[in-house]
Each structure stands twice: as C-alpha cells, then as structure tokens.
Structure 1
Amino acid sequence: MAKTAVPNPVSMMRHNASAVPRRLRGMLSLDDFEGPARRHLPLSVFGYVSGGVEDDVTLSENRAAFRRIGLRPRVLRDVSRRDLTTQLFGQEYALPFGIAPMGFSALAAFDGDVVLAKGARATGTFAICSAASLTPLERVAADGGSRWFQSYIPGDRDRIAALLERVRRAGFDTLVVTADVPVAGNREN
C-alpha cells in the first residue's frame, strides 16, 4: 500500500480558524451543540440524535465513564511536534479516532453520511457508514470517500453473501459488525 501524506489536524485547525462559520466559533465542546441543535431540529430527530433507549441508563453510564478519564498536563516540555497519527488495520490515520456510524444521519443534516465521510477524509481519519443510512452506500463510498461500513448481519448465508458482495463492489474495505441486543430498544424520546 502506498503511503499517503497524513494531514496534521492541529495545524489545519489553526490555519483554517477564519474559515469556521461565525455561528460555530463559540462551540468549544460537544455539549455546546445541544442547545442550538434542540432549537434547529424537529423534536423527534433531536431525541434520536441526543438520546438513548428506555431510561437512558447505558447513555448515562457511557457519559460517566468519559468523565472519569482525566488528562494529566505535562509542563516544561517541548510540544511543538505533537503527533496524533495512529495505525489501525495497516492504515495510518491522522487522528486516533474516527466517526461512529449513526443511522438516519440525513435526517439531522442534509446529505449527512456523505458530509461526515468527507469531513473525516479531510482531517485524515475515517467515518463508518451506517447500514441504516438513508443515502445509498455506493454514493457514500464514492462521493464521501468512506471505506468503512457498519452492518447488522442478516440471519441467512445467502443474504450475508449478497450484502458482503454489495459492500465490496461499493468500495468499502472495512466491515464493522454490530452485535448488540436481539430486540430493538424502545426510544422513548
């Protein structure tokens, strides 16, 4: 595999700060998006994007787990050459994370899956296209440059083979298999 230049996201943010739309300049954390999103999105779409299922127990536990992660500042050290690049499945990425799949993202933003894939590619990371995308997976791969696809695996071998062939023909090279509960959760929000 030919090695490609991986963009430095820190340099890109510094260089493109003036390119950030004015309404986004005050957004300093993910929580800063909640109020504007609540005002902008239809209530059912906001509930889907921001909530979990049933009593949101797992969502609350996930947030609590992230709050327990502390960052320890290191002072009096040369940090002029920070490097976040990481290797995953033999591929180098500029960031040690990607964009998780979210079904129906086109309800929250026009052409959501393609936009997420383009944004990930522009910053040197990946976005995982959801099997519940409203945009055909072939278009997400072609227009967005996405190479990761998430799927629930259907129950019979013929359907699995057809799905895998379609995913391969579309240009995806990484399959993320979702294995969770046998019954869909009740989205009360």
Structure 2
Amino acid sequence: MAMNFNLDFLSVDDLRKKAKSRIRKFAFEYLDGGCNEDISLSRNTAVIRKIQLQPRYLSNYDKNSIKIKVMGIQFNTPFGIAPVRLQGLM
C-alpha cells in the first residue's frame, strides 16, 4: 500500500500556518482558539502534554531470541534492520 506524504507539512504547526493563511481571520480564530480566554485550550493542552508512554524494553529478556527463519533457513541475527526512534534524531 503506497502512502503519499506532502513534505510541505511535516508538523501540526505547518498545517496550522497554512490554515491561518487560507481561512478568514474570524473563522480561524474560532476554530483555533478555546473559550474563556483560551483557558480550556490551555488546560487541555497541558493535560495532553503530561501523558507519557512508558516503554518496557527487554522485559523477560531470558526467553527472548533474535533468531529468524526466512524461506526455511534459520539466521541467528535479524534479517533486516528497521528504522527505530528516527523521530528522536530529527
């Protein structure tokens, strides 16, 4: 399945800037803002930013194996390497 990405919009902020340039000011402010002097918006954003995922790497390591079988042949190491934590390098 091919996925097409628009490289002009690499973040939500990029999309927000584009929307701001294309939508009339009153409509953008209504859609972008929160009620009560943005208090609700600030609270919601603060709550979302407090959420942290807690990865559990290598739990129960004794029983894990990196062996892989490809087309009937067993390899002691992974067959390929996937990009992991690439976003951390950006």
The TM-score with structure 2 as length reference comes to: 0.52
Give 5+ residue unaligned stretches, structure 2. 65-90
Alpha-carbon distance between aligned partners in 2 of 1:74 and 1:32, rounded to the nearest angstrom: 32
Equivalent residue letter for 1:53: C
How high is the sequence identity, in percent, across the aligned residues?
A: 30
User: Larger RCO: Structure 1 or Structure 2 (Cα < 8 Å, ≥ 6 residues apart)?
Assistant: 1
Structure 2 residue corresponding to 1:57, chosen from 39, 54, 76: 39
Q: Which protein is richer in helix relative to its size?
A: 2
Equivalent residue letter for 2:38: D
String of CA shifts for 1:16-42, please: whole Å, max 9, x gaps.
33x233433x23xx3442222212211
Residue 44 of structure 1: aligned partner:
26
Structure 2 residue corresponding to 1:66, chosen from 32, 36, 48: 48
Residue 15 of structure 2: aligned partner:
33
Alpha-carbon distance between aligned partners in 2 of 1:23 and 1:53, rounded to the nearest angstrom: 30
Give 5+ residue unaligned stretches, structure 1. 1-14, 79-189
RMSD between superposed Cα atoms in Å: 2.4
Q: Does 1:16 align with 2:2?
A: yes
Alpha-carbon distance between aligned partners in 2 of 1:33 and 1:59, rounded to the nearest angstrom: 18
What is the number of residues matched between the two proteins? 60
String of CA shifts for 1:99-154, please: whole Å, max 9, x gaps.
xxxxxxxxxxxxxxxxxxxxxxxxxxxxxxxxxxxxxxxxxxxxxxxxxxxxxxxx
Equivalent residue letter for 1:71: L
The TM-score with structure 1 as length reference comes to: 0.27
Q: Is the 8 A contact 2:8 2:14 kept in 1?
A: no
SS in 2 for 1:23: coil
SS in 1 for 2:44: helix
How far 1:45 moved relative to its partner?
1.4
Alpha-carbon distance between aligned partners in 1 of 2:16 and 2:6, rounded to the nearest angstrom: 17
